[in-house]
Structure 1
Amino acid sequence: MHRFVATAAFAVAAAVVPVTVTGGASAETTEPTARLLVATTVAPITSIVANIVGDRADVRGIVPEGTNSHTFEPRPSVAELLSEADVVYLNGLMLEEPTRQLAEEHLRDGAGLVELGDRTITEDEYIFDFSFPERDGKPNPHLWTDPLLAVRYAEIVAADMAERDPANADYYAANYDAFADVIDELDAAMREAFATVPVRKLITYHDAYAYFAADYDWEIVGAIQVSDFEDPTPREVADLIEQIRAEQVPAIFGSEVFPSPVLEQIGEEAGVEYVDVLRDDDLPGEPGDAEHSWLGLMVFDYVTMTEALGGDAGALRALDIRNVAPDEADYPQ
């Protein structure tokens, strides 16, 4: 797997003190005079940030799990959190516009607003598709479902936190290295499992896997949720049924959070299995569980896809699902 190269500023900050990683990351550092308050948006990003930040800052999520992040309007109480935060990590790519606008209005001087997706890919790498047509100007924002891009999120957070909290720069660097190793393991297990899938074609409720598909040689055949988040027209439904039959996919995938009677109907009429448990930003398990994490989410989704499409997910099921640093994140419910 390709490992991103840290920025020069991060490399210098991270090299001050040797570190040792045993399970989680540990280092000879001194606590800053005051713990930083870190705000995040959707739960997968909160989890990635918590793996880097560990117990050296307080991490607070904003978007409740099970909420449509594309249409989420933050409660007034979020303004108070944003006014106290030292940094806000968003996905960006126009995913959380109301939250970004609220942050711009309430962030205090010196606080940071970091849009991870915008720092990870360039405009010529944007993907537009069924749910995110180019005419609307909003690219598909779901970079975190692709481990090769999620590792870049972690690198950006580690570098940014090192600048904001130099006393713990080596700690953030160690956690990044440990997290990148976890992603290497996940990447290898995904490729081993996917090699057993006879037909790597996806039809989903919501197209949250476009970047993943590009990097892991899958084809996105269709998505039932159109760009305005309304049900498709009867003509669109008929076209999708014809496409499913033509592509000969054995299963189509719905969302555990947003049940889709239309997609269930399509599965019945096309004569394929309808699997309605995929998640793109709702973590499995309960807060405090190892699987209630970005890694747990990735394993859950890709085991589900692999097995429903006739593959062997043994390599994924054998992964040690773990956080590399103490999980101090607060996930809103």
Structure 2
Amino acid sequence: MSRKLISLSAIATLMGGTAMADVPNVAVDIAPVHSLVARVMEGVGTPTLLLPPGASPHEYSLRPSEATALQDADIVVWMGEDLAPWMEGAITTLAGDARVLTLLDADETMLLDFREGALFEEHGHEDEHDDADHAEDEHGHEAEHDNEAHAESGQDHENEHDHEEHAEDAHDNDEDDHAHDHGAYDSHAWLSPSNAARWFNLIAAELSSADPENAGAYFANAAAGQAELETLNAQVNATLEPVRGGSFIVFHDGYQYFEADFDFPASGAISLSDATDPSPARIAEIQKRVREEGIDCVLTEPQFNPGIVATVLEGTQANTGVSDPLGSDLEPGPALYPQLIRNLATTLADCM
């Protein structure tokens, strides 16, 4: 009898191993997107996170184990080269035969233009996409960009951004150069739960194409994830409601997708990106706004120079809070994404 039990157990183990072998190997770039993929794969398989918590997606060199995971991937899910320009070459070299889902290129993704100035005027986060597919998106945001600065300098750029502030201020040369380097749109699109809800279906469809036997589980998980995001949105709005009408600035302009989803716009950014230090002229602009308009809060991030924030806050009554748009301190997995969004709202509300 025990021999039969052992035999049946061995067969079950073998069958289970075979089933798992059919589940695609999935590699994901950053923790928030990894969390969404993990939610869709829950109960079926586990994706591999390529960038460790705290690593900058803008510049990174894969470790041997991460390169191997990318090479073994059947599916790669990543934001796109606007966020991680180095990764496109890595995917081509190491995962040339893999299916690739580039979220920033998906027609369903809501995209927002970069805001170039240090100070943000009242805005509805509207932009006009040159891409016809994105223009048809129901969330299409319209904006008119003044390209006079580019026209006067003789530079021909595909993206029409207003660089008048940079042109008028010679001290902003480094930031202006950076503005010319970024892609067409703000790449921090994962901070919009509305985008995350759309991506659940895209991820489920990609997984189902590679693994049709588990398609039912993938789409059921995606639907459950979308329902969880609806609850999350209600929680975040409840958290922010008591401080609506308050004003805040951010260290780098990476939060406008969160701002758009929850109708809570920032007043400005100290730095254009998390890869550059702000110029003295830009800091002076922000200082003036903080003092004259009674800004309530300055949001910074763990990797930034606290001395710059202290300079901006000098002589003001503004509070400061530390936000983490990549979830660097959170455990990777299905629960990371909703906790990341929840933490952003709590940090902002507490700071206000």
TM-score by length of 1: 0.75
The residue aligned with 1:129 is 115
1:69, distance to aligned residue in structure 2 (A): 1.4
1:105, distance to aligned residue in structure 2 (A): 1.3
Contact 1:38 1:60 in 2 (8 A): yes
Contact 1:31 1:167 in 2 (8 A): no
Structure 1 unaligned regions, length at least 5 = 1-29, 310-333
The residue aligned with 1:144 is 190
Verify: 1:47 aligned to 2:35, yes or no: yes
In structure 1, how many angstroms separate the alpha carbons of the residues matched to 2:81 and 2:258? 16
After TM superposition, the structure 1 = structure 2 runs for residues 1-333 of structure 1, keeping only pairs within 5 Å, are: 31=19, 34-92=22-80, 94-109=82-97, 111-119=98-106, 125-130=111-116, 135-138=180-183, 139-227=185-273, 229-275=275-321, 277-286=322-331, 293-309=336-352
1:114, distance to aligned residue in structure 2 (A): 1.0
Structure 2 unaligned regions, length at least 5 = 1-17, 117-174
1:185, distance to aligned residue in structure 2 (A): 0.4
In structure 2, how many angstroms separate the alpha carbons of the residues matched to 1:262 and 1:119? 37
In structure 2, how many angstroms separate the alpha carbons of the residues matched to 1:255 and 1:228? 9
The residue aligned with 2:145 is none
1:133-187 CA distance string (max 9 Å, x none): 7643422111111111111122210111111110000101110111001100011
1:67, distance to aligned residue in structure 2 (A): 1.4
Change (3 A) 1:237 1:118: same
In structure 1, how many angstroms separate the alpha carbons of the residues matched to 2:65 and 2:244? 49
1:271, distance to aligned residue in structure 2 (A): 3.0
Q: Which has the larger radius of gyration?
A: 2
Change (3 A) 1:217 1:246: farther
Structure with a larger share of its residues in strand: 1
- The more displaced of 217-226 and 165-174 is 217-226
Identity %: 27
1:99-119 CA distance string (max 9 Å, x none): 22111112143x211111221
TM-score by length of 2: 0.71
1:235-261 CA distance string (max 9 Å, x none): 211110111123322111111344432
Match for 1:145: what amino acid? L
In structure 2, how many angstroms separate the alpha carbons of the residues matched to 1:69 and 1:238? 29
The one of the two structures with greater contact order (alpha-carbon pairs below 8 A, sep at least 6) is 1
The DSSP-based 3-state class of the residue aligned with 2:271 is coil
CA RMSD of aligned residues (A): 2.5
Contact 2:104 2:187 in 1 (8 A): yes
